[in-house]
Amino acid sequence: MKWITRERPKIDRIACPWLIKNFVDSEAEFIYVPKEEVFEKAEMLNAIPYDIPGTEYSHEGERCTFDYIVKKHELTDPAILQIAEIVRGADTARFDLAPQAAGLWAISAGLSYNFRNDHEQLDFGMQIYNALYSWAKYVQEEKHTWQNN
């Protein structure tokens, strides 16, 4: 399936493709277009619009689009639920929700600055979310043990 959203992605528009590709639709294709073209191109390309007001896949109250996908597709993996809280905190400037949220926002803003091509940014961002998932799933209890001797 094709998914379409606004160009120049940041938090949700990188996190959602990662979530969709890994847990909803492994064959998903992602398209970025200017905001004013999302609905027209979605219809023309038979694509699902996401993370834009007026679509099914969007924010609900204080929850972000990532949260909606988790709910809609009944994802229950505890690591995904933890990442949802981090993404929500970063995407809605609620850094109090998770200690990692401010860092995720900083990384996302930096990626957007460093990459002018949205698909190159998405490819790089996917690796960041892979790492975040690995941390949440397998190594979050690991502690930094460097000692100043």
pLDDT tens column, 76-120: 999 999 999 999 999 999 999 999 999 999 999 999 999 999 999
What's the confidence (pLDDT) of residue 149? Answer: 60
Structure pTM? 0.93
Asked whether residue 148 carries a pLDDT value surpassing 80, the answer given is no
What's the confidence (pLDDT) of residue 144? Answer: 79
**What percentage of the chain carries pLDDT values higher than 90?**
93
Asked whether residue 10 carries a pLDDT value surpassing 90, the answer given is yes
Q: What is the 3-state secondary structure (H, E, C) of the chain?
A: CEEEEECCCCHHHHHHHHHHHHHCCCCCEEEEECHHHHHHHHHHHCEEEECCCCCCECCECCECHHHHHHHHCCCCCHHHHHHHHHHHHHHCCCCCCCCCHHHHHHHHHHHHHHCCCHHHHHHHHHHHHHHHHHHHHHHCCCCCCCCCC
